[in-house]
Amino acid sequence: MMKPNLRMNKILTLTALCCGLMLSASAQQNFKYQATLPKVDSTGFYRISLQPAFVAKAKADLSDIRIVDAKGNFIPYIQAGSLPQKDQKSFVVFNQVDAKLSTDTGTTFIVENKTGLALDRLWIRLQNTAVQRKVNLVGSDDLKQWFAIQEDIPLQEAVVNSEGTYMQSLSFPASNYRYLKLLVNDKNKTPIKFLQAGVYTEYAATFSYVPVSPVQLTRIDSNKTTFITIKLQDNYQVNKLHLNITAPKYFKRDVSVYQVNGHDKQLLGEEELNSTKATDLLIAAKTNQLIVQISNGDNLPLTITGIDAFQSAESLISYLDGKQTYRLLAGDQSVQAPEYDLKFFTDSIQGNTPQISHEVVNQNVAYQTKQPAKADRDYTVFIWIAIVVAAGLLLFLTLKMTKEVKKKAGEKKD
């Protein structure tokens, strides 16, 4: 006959497994899209390239991306740009600027991007701290008008060390603002201490983009101004626009780029088109429509044969098992960026990490089966009912086992 303790342990294990599977399945159902990863040859770290079609389905900060195995477990990853650089000599410290505005609340730290390069990573050095804070990153070219780049970026806690300081990489859509401001929401809390901010020049030199296509253009030349509307087939992340200008030979025009989302029109930045340098516009957009406004003055409009859109290269690094199959999930607006222990072990990742890419993006089957057949039905409630029933069963069996144990203990005393 099975002992009460052994029987109870098996019941607890089975109940916990059932609840875990139901919660895992429920979590996966919240993601609208998926993309299968190819099976890797051997176990180890892999760099997973995120194609524009997948990034278009994710949140602007990519915080809703998850890697899931065949059992439904979420697999830890880090963004590739967060890897520490080995050559400390290539680190360029940005000058700190003292220009806090009266509208700022919380700790602010402003630096000048003196490299003039487009950046999608900023390394910051902080005094050791074990508190949790989030930071907003904004950019400006004149220290007066500021534009949002990335919001709610989590600051890491210090890794155990004896130096008293630590480095963290902030990831954001590629931008070339002259000034970058970190704004920490620590109102009514003790502030944290920023020491430095800068970039690794070797990383900036290898900055790369991937094309976003197709691009549909509509042009209007009116009242000394050219308006070009760029329409994309999805809500793509766009970090660079390249204008193919064939005439005139010499030109210098002011240009503004706007992002259109529904009825809202947001200014992304103001730049200059100059025949003496590359005709690239560096922006940070997540949209399916952009407007490029070119001021011609008394000059003839520019002859533009086409505009190419690009996304900055995005990739994840994760430790994958050669015996497992994996998928990427995205499309859950309610989730926050995951916090994995892997961020503390980046030194274990080698520079020659094998690179893979996901397959075609499609609807997450789990999400489709979750959708209600009618507008007034929501099957999520049935999942929670099942969990409550399982918990009730567990409580009933626990009480029953307890009574049996007490009864047998009383019999032994008699």
Confidence of residue 330 (pLDDT cuts 50, 70, 90): very high
Query: Contact, 322 vs 41, CB < 8 A?
Result: yes
Facing residues of 252 across strands? 274
115: Cβ contacts below 8 Å, ≥ 6 apart: 92, 199, 201, 204
Exposure class string for 143-164: b at 16+ Cβ within 10 A, else e:
eeebbebbeebbbbbbeeeeee
| 17-34 pLDDT, tens digit each | 555 545 455 567 889 999
Task: Identify which of 115, 24, 35 has the alpha carbon closest to the alpha carbon of residue 316.
Answer: 35
Q: Which helix (H) or strand (E) holds 33?
A: strand 33-36
Residue spans of the domains in the chain: they are 1-29+364-414, 88-205, 209-312
For 6-65, how does the pLDDT look when each residue is reduced to its tens digit (9 = 90+)? 555 555 455 445 555 454 555 678 899 999 999 999 999 999 999 999 999 999 889 899
237 close to 60: Cβ distance less than 8 angstroms = yes
Residue 369 above 70 pLDDT?
Answer: no
Across residues 304-325, what is the average pLDDT?
Answer: 93
- What's the pLDDT band for 152 if we cut at 50, 70, 90? confident
The model's confidence at residue 374, banded by pLDDT at 50, 70 and 90, is very low
- Decide if pLDDT at 151 tops 60: yes
- Collapsing DSSP to helix, strand or coil, 157 comes out as coil
Distance CA 184, CA 134 (A): 6
Min mean pLDDT across 82-96, 150-164, 264-278, 283-297 is at 82-96
- Whether 243 has a pLDDT exceeding 80, the answer reads yes
Element (H, E) at 391: helix 380-413
- Topology of domain 88-205, CATH: Jelly Rolls (2.60.120)
Give the closest residue to 313 by CA, choosing from 244, 237, 242, 216: 237
Q: Compute the residue count for the chain.
A: 414
The residues with which 310 forms a beta bridge, in sequence order, are 211, 240
Measured distance CA(340)–CA(66) in Å, rounded: 11
In this prediction, residue 379 has a pLDDT band, given cuts at 50, 70 and 90, of: low
Q: Tell me how far apart the alpha carbons of residues 122 and 120 are, in angstroms, rounded to a whole number.
A: 7
CA pair distance 142, 144, nearest whole angstrom = 5
Tokens in use for 68? 């899931």
The reply to whether domains 88-205 and 209-312 share a CATH topology is yes
**Given pLDDT bands bounded at 50, 70 and 90, which one contains residue 211?**
very high
Q: What is the mean pLDDT of the chain?
A: 82
- Using the predicted structure, report yes or no on whether residue 373 has a pLDDT greater than 50: no
- pLDDT of 401 above 80: no
CB-based contact 191:168 (threshold 8 Å): no
More confident residue, 185 or 260: 260
Q: What is the mean pLDDT of residues 231-254?
A: 95
In the CATH scheme, what architecture does the domain 209-312 have? Answer: Sandwich (2.60)
Q: Which of the listed ranges 128-137, 162-171, 222-231 does the model predict with the highest average pLDDT?
A: 222-231
Determine phi and psi for 30, rounding to 5 degrees. Answer: -85, -10
18: exposed, middle or buried (C-beta count within 10 Å: 0-12, 13-18, 19+)?
A: middle
pLDDT in tens, 188-206: 678 888 999 988 766 554 5
